[in-house]
Amino acid sequence: MRAEEVRHRISTPLTTPVYPPRATRFTDREYFNVVYRTDPEALRAVVPEPLEIDEPLVRFEVMKMGDVEGYGPYLECGQVIPVRHGAERGEYLHAMHLDNFAATAAGRELSAYPKTVGTPALFPDNGALIGTLDYGTQRVATASMAYKWEPMDLEEARAQITVPTYGVKIVPELVCALARTEITDVTVKGAWRGPARLELFAHVMAPLADLPVREVISASHILTDLTLAPAVPVHDYLAA
């Protein structure tokens, strides 16, 4: 294989790519979000500079991907943290657990998504929307919300989905950078809000409970079609 051919490959293994070399389109991507208040000290321990925290809030999310080009259906669960980067408000991607290897590899290699293994679930159950995360055989998180309790303004829902996001991209000895991305191509097909509860359970390999739940602030259930956007470096830790 010539050097020119190697330069045009996008992933490891060199001869067996696991994801397509193009933007990913999601159809019927379903979000279950629970925003909660946590301990300020716990947030300061995990949010990297130059990002700043105004309020000690966390958004726990479960996402069900109905149809994804190049990957097929899968589920994802994690935590994001409202932050500021200069004057811009956004969210820091703290943790993501998936049940799809190709999507995990693409998120880590192409972008700055902190993706790792896990078994999320999202389903209706006797008048409630249930979101869970298991790591191996152990339960890590359980969230519940009254099912489609109250219609939510679609523009408000769209604003939640399109907020700028930040993550740390690390390739040892080569890259250590804060990256920014923002979804702009999104169609909101339905959105609801309602009362919710959230429990987090301690696990060393999925430490979501290190950001403990002190008060549930709000919850939403959103159905969308969208296309992911590329990540752009905004801070080089190696240069700093």
Specify the pLDDT at position 38.
98
Output 21 or 136, whichever has higher pLDDT.
136
Q: Is 115 a catalytic residue?
A: yes
The per-residue b/e assignment along 209-229, b for 16 or more CB within 10 angstroms, e otherwise, is ebbebeebeebbbbbbbbebb
Task: Answer for the pair 25, 227: CB distance below 8 angstroms, yes or no.
Answer: yes
Confidence class of residue 173 from pLDDT cuts 50, 70 and 90? confident
- Determine which of 21-25, 132-136, 192-196, 210-214 has the lowest per-residue pLDDT on average: 21-25
pTM: 0.94
Which domains, and CATH codes, for the chain? 21-151+166-236 (2.40.400.10)
d(CA 65, CA 52): 31
Specify the pLDDT at position 16.
82
pLDDT tens figures, 83-104:
999 999 999 999 999 999 999 9
Specify the pLDDT at position 138.
98
Residue tagged active-site, from 64, 115, 169, 189 = 115
From residue 240, alpha-carbon distances to 35, 53, 118 in Å are: 33, 21, 34
Average pLDDT over residues 130-145: 98
Specify the pLDDT at position 75.
98
Average pLDDT over residues 195-204: 98
Please report the sign of the dihedral spanned by the C-alpha atoms of residue 29, residue 34, residue 192, residue 120. Answer: positive
Q: Chain centroid to CA 151: how far?
A: 24
Confidence class of residue 10 from pLDDT cuts 50, 70 and 90? confident
pLDDT tens figures, 11-68:
788 888 888 878 889 999 999 999 999 999 999 999 999 999 999 999 999 999 999 9
